[in-house]
Chains A and B, each alone.
Chain A
Amino acid sequence: MKGSLSRFIAITCIVALGTGFLSGLLSATEDMKNSANDYYIKHNTFDASVQGSLGITGGDIRALEDMDCVRDVLGVYTVDLLMDIDGLEATETRIIARDLDEAVRNGAVNRLELVDGRMPERADECLIEVPNMYGIKHEVGETLAVSKNNDDYDELKKDFRHKTLTVVGIVKSPLYVSINGDVTTIGSGTINLAVYVDPETYSTDVYGQAYITFKGTEKLHYSKEPYSARIDECRKELKALGKERSAVREDRVLGKAKRQLKDAERELASGEKELKQELAAARKELRDSEKPVRAGERKLEAAEKKLERSRSQLDASEKELDELEPVISQLEALVAAGGTLTEEQQAAIDRYYEGRRQIEAGRKEIRAGAKEIRENRRELEAADKSIAEGWRQYEKGKAEGEAELSEGRKDIKEARKEIKKIDEARWYITDRSDNLGISGYENDSEIINAVAKVFPAFFFVVAVLVALTTLTRMIEEERNRIGTLKSLGYTKRETRSYYMFYAFVTSVIGCVVGMAAGFKILPMVISNAYSMMYNFPPIKAPVIWLTAIIIGLVTIVLVMATAYISARDEVNEKPAMLLVPKAPKPGQRILLERIPALWNMASFSYKVTLRNLFRYKKHFLMTIIGVSGCAALLMTAFGLRHSIADIVDKQYDEINRYNIYFEVADEDVVTKGEVHDVLESEKAVEGWGIFSEESATVSANDVKQTSNIMIPKEGKELKQFITLRERTTGEDVAFEEGSVVITEKMAENLELEVGDRIYIRPPGNSREGFIVAGITENYLSPYVYMNSDTYEEAFDERCEFNKVLVKTSDSDDTTQNNVIEKLLKCDEVDYAITLNTARDSFADSIGSIDFIVLVITLCAVGLAVIVLFNMANVIICERKKELATLKVLGFFNKETRAYIFREVNILAVIGILVGIPIGIWLHRFVVHTAEVEDIMFNRELTWLSYPFAAVVTFVTVFIINRLMKREIDRINMVESMKAND
């Protein structure tokens, strides 16, 4: 019975391993989905969500509530903003305002579950959602304040009734199950904290979003067909209502805006007219006051002229008189000498003097006239000045009026633009599958399903082969017993039933043990690994009876069928024949002997081994499949670990050539001032570059995803910070004027190749197409790289250079932290992050893969152990007599063992060789299946997995050989005396 114990163990174990692995992998996905579903149902998770381009009004909510298909509606006020949280400045935060007392009540849509702290009692208290950003944990007692870094700080300030909020509790909700935050338009583009407040604390005119549950979805499983069918149905109705309500909303908002615009236009027109009139009046007045002045001037000029004229007359008369003077003097001298003068002469002298007198009088008159003119002129000049001043006043008034008007015109233009912008009121309807966390979890759990499809196949084939060889051997050994039974008159069926029963018992025990472990342990291990990324309650791992029964039935039927086939020959034989020992299996020449060149090279002992190998085809097949499966699984497990762990080094050492990044309000902060000085003076800083980074929706070939757009300020600088290269060839990817380079995984998702067109839509902008100029190696986040000119030309919007990448001389933490500390001392820098942090946290999070690798490794080794143990056991039993004979012939123990081990070892080598291509294929398959949307793993299979698989397999073989050694040594030489068995 000793031999039968190892037989029993072999069959039970392989059945347990096979069914355990299969049930575990099959139920893991189911378990994960079911526990997610329980969670969604428990929290009354939304079926659909509506956001309006113009918000959701109370009327909209009422209309939704009135719909036939709607069970419940929840309107929330919501805003994304930057918040300062206890020293951590400008955290991207989403505020969700809803009635918090209502929110924790059973049956509330997206019910919150308090997991720590208490509910808010005052309006300046709030709750936060559990999943936090990598590495940064938020706690009860922290205070949040609206950050000054918000563009619309003043407006936000008005919406908040309190300056700071205090975290008093931590809640769980189905909205944020992933530790990866939602996409937003602020800050780095990802929400890092979700905060719940009462509408008393924050509210706006309209709701930001409405969450809806539909009738008839309460009991449906979210990942099954009836649910999605129901959602499609209801979404259609929702869409119709959306059109209707949007029209109403548009009318109201647009009507109001248009009225405002019209008023403004009217005002402007009347303003224009008024100004014109005023200006005209002023002009007239000025002109009127100018007239008398001009007349006075003219008069004055005439008077001056007259004066001039009389002056010249006077001068002429004086000249005449001067000419007369000598004559008069002579005459007077004559008179003095006593002469007498004629009458005429006397008359002339008199006239002369009369003339002089007249001139004198004339001059006096002219002087008076000139004086008068001077006075008049002064008067006129004063009047002139005041008129000029009037004109100046007039011009000034005119300019002012014009400016005011153009200001008004500009405002109107702006308002028109605004109206154009809001001209479309739309409802955006989403459902659970659009929720980042929910859909991410769904995808990740599907990965396990994909893996589950391949792995257990090995185990099933091997289980059947193990059962076949073991049972065949058992039945051969018990030939005599069968013969006895049959000769005693037992029927075929009765004889057979013993073996069928044996197969039944072993496979049932194997199934029970295997599935008890499989349904519990494997899903636990897997979900434990995923719990690092998703915030779900611990998984329930129930035995899924339908799966269990199917696996059980298939396994039991297979093993029993094997027993039936094994027993067929013996059971059908005549009892007399059975009582005679069975003729040993005849020897045969093998194919290799036909090639004497090769065959003669082999030593004698190897010839024996080779013949034996091909003599027992079942053993051969079983061992090769088992060992190759083991080797392939080991290669896959080890390779998978490497493929995932390796991307950290590739991404952070080879692709990203910078070490630190920080964000700034605008580029001026970096090009001069404090920050600039730090960057320039710090020795550890080797270089820095200014970039623009924002998230955008990219699409092509009907596939859509989110990506980051990265734009260097200086196009040439990009490659200094980020390596652009083709992954397989390592060739440089060109980045020139107009080039658009995208990352590899994204190209794959969008089915893009170089030369294809990719569509990019930044938030709040239009969708534009670009030709892909290059595809570059990248592992973690998707990126589109382009030049600022390309961007600005396409989107008609200036790039905001908000990100600075810094390259340091050393990548150790001390150097990094030193630089970061100095940067943070600058007022303009709110945070600066070393890639070491991201690197470490990512490395931590993929640590979960070690679990899965360990499980696969153990299963693989278990598979090899069972198969090799079984095979060694069977050949030892079968060749007991042969081995005993060898001992009698004087083979030393070592030589006798070698006779068996050579065979095991050669089979192991062949198994490993066969396993290698399978391993390569399996690794590729698993890596491909395991990649989630944005992450690309290293598809290369590390060369280390070859020695790893080989060494682990050989160690297993070695251990089996050690175990078998005793068995061989214990064979009694007396066995050789016995008749054939």
Chain B
Amino acid sequence: MEYVTFDDVCKYYTMGDSRIAALDGMSFQIRKGEFCVIVGPSGAGKTTLLNILGGMDVCDEGVVSLDGERIDRYDEKQLTAYRRYDVGFVFQFYNLVQNLTAIENVELATEICRDPLDPAETLKRVGLEHRMDNFPAQLSGGEQQRVSIARALAKDPKILLCDEPTGALDYNTGKQILKLLRDTCKNTGKNIIVITHNQAIKPMADRVIFVKNGKAVSTEINPCPTPIEDIEW
């Protein structure tokens, strides 16, 4: 069953006189519960894809749907509600509110949700039960990213979007974060979409989508993904 669908999606940006297509008829599908990695070089349209799927931007042409809902037809307000209730977002630079402790950062998201998970419980799940009352500045990068993931998870969203979640982390920490995401996917059955330029992590995904010049050039499906511990890069 197709959970996420991109059908001939186009997005144009005007730069001076010329019109550049960031997404140029992108089409792909993701099934429910899959751990999906979207890879491609810089400027391939990964971020635009993420923005549109994350409800932060709208496409100019084509169909985008999630769980049967036509996101491309949403207005501003519906998009906000969509981000609020359906999407969990993990940023490359964590984007924690510096003035809030770990648990408060999670609470920041759960405050506005309908049926959030327990923030403390969620933090425990990402392995931060001892760091809950620390401010972001007191946490390591990996720990901060865990908070970020906990914040996204606590909302109990339909999908989890991760934008280069390991981009600002060292190798080992990055691995741990990826493991956490992978485990989360397995344990909760949530769709997780990781956007990265790191081709090496392809084997750990259920589905890998290759993006280039605003198009999804190919899709790979791993029937049995490799555990992250076994992947080296």
Chain A residues packing against B (C-beta within 8 Å) = 583-588, 604-605, 607-608, 611-612, 615, 881-882, 885-893, 895, 973-974, 976-980
Contact = CB atoms under 8 A, between A and B. Distances in A.
A608 B91 contact: no
Given A587-B137, A974-B56, A980-B93, A889 B98 contact: no
Contacts of A888: 54, 56, 83, 89, 91, 95
A973 B99 contact: no
Given A587-B101, A587-B137, A892-B77, A608 B95 contact: no
Contact of A882 (B57, B83, B97, B111): B97
Which of A588, A605, A885 has most chain B Cβ within 10 Å?
A885
Contacts of B135: 586-588
Interface in B41-72: 47, 51, 54, 56-57
10 contacts: A587-B100, A587-B136, A588-B99, A588-B135, A882-B97, A890-B84, A892-B77, A976-B91, A977-B91, A978-B93
Contact of A889 (B57, B84, B137, B138): B84
B95 A976 contact: yes
A885 B99 contact: no
Given A585-B98, A587-B99, A608-B97, A889 B83 contact: yes
A882 B99 CA distance: 10
A895 B80 CA distance: 11
B163 A604 contact: no
A200 B112 CA distance: 98
Contacts of B87: 890
A974 B98 CA distance: 19
B85 interface: yes
B92 interface: yes
Contact of B112 (A586, A587, A895, A974): A895
A889 B82 CA distance: 10
A604 B95 contact: no
A607 B108 CA distance: 11
B15 to A, nearest CB: 15
Contacts of A891: 80, 84, 112
Contacts of A583: 137
A890 B80 contact: yes
A599 to B, nearest CB: 12
B111 A605 contact: yes
Given A888-B56, A889-B151, 14 more contacts: A585-B98, A586-B136, A587-B136, A588-B135, A608-B108, A611-B100, A882-B95, A886-B108, A890-B80, A890-B82, A890-B83, A891-B80, A892-B84, A977-B91
Which of B89, B91, B99, B101 has most chain A Cβ within 10 Å?
B99
B162 interface: no
A889 B112 contact: yes
A584 B54 contact: no
Contacts of B136: 584, 586-587
Query: Which 9 residue pairs of A and B lie closest in terms of their CB atoms, listed nearest first?
Result: A890-B84, A586-B137, A587-B135, A890-B83, A587-B99, A885-B95, A973-B56, A584-B98, A611-B99
B163 A586 contact: no
B143 interface: no
Interface string B166-210: 000000000000000000000000000000000000000000000
B107 interface: yes
A280 B161 CA distance: 149
A471 to B, nearest CB: 22
Contacts of B47: 977
Contacts of B217: none
Contacts of A886: 108
A974 B135 CA distance: 24
Nearest to B97: A882
Interface of B: 47, 51, 54, 56-57, 77, 80-85, 87, 89, 91-93, 95, 97-101, 104, 107-109, 111-112, 135-138, 151, 155, 163
B117 to A, nearest CB: 15
Given A885-B91, A888-B54, A889-B109, A586 B81 contact: no
A976 B164 CA distance: 13
Contact of A586 (B104, B111, B138): B138
Contacts of B92: 977
B196 to A, nearest CB: 14
B137 A604 contact: no
Contacts of A605: 111
A600 to B, nearest CB: 13
Contacts of B151: 889
Contacts of B107: 604
Contact of B97 (A885, A974, A980): A885
B104 to A, nearest CB: 7
A974 B82 CA distance: 17
Contact of B108 (A584, A889, A978): A889
A976 B93 CA distance: 9
A612 B155 CA distance: 24
B89 A608 contact: no
B181 to A, nearest CB: 18
A590 to B, nearest CB: 10
B77 A584 contact: no
Contacts of A976: 91, 95
Contacts of B83: 887-890
B155 to A, nearest CB: 8
Nearest to B92: A977
A885 B94 CA distance: 10
B100 A890 contact: no
A889 B100 contact: no
Nearest to B133: A589
A608 B84 contact: no
A669 to B, nearest CB: 85
A612 B92 CA distance: 24
A565 B80 CA distance: 42
Contacts of A585: 98
Nearest to A585: B98
Which of A888, A893, A973 has most chain B Cβ within 10 Å?
A888
Given A586-B138, A587-B101, A974-B56, A892 B80 contact: yes
A287 B10 CA distance: 160
Contacts of B104: 604, 607-608
Nearest to A581: B93
Contact of A881 (B54, B95, B99): B95
A890 B81 contact: yes
A605 B100 CA distance: 11
A866 B189 CA distance: 53
Contacts of A978: 93
B114 to A, nearest CB: 11
A480 to B, nearest CB: 16
Contact of B163 (A882, A895, A977): A977
A584 B80 CA distance: 27
A607 B93 CA distance: 24
A160 B163 CA distance: 107
Contact of A604 (B54, B57, B84, B111): B111
Nearest to B54: A888
B99 A608 contact: yes
B109 A586 contact: no
A586 B98 contact: yes
Contact of B137 (A584, A890, A892): A584
A889 B77 CA distance: 13
B145 to A, nearest CB: 14
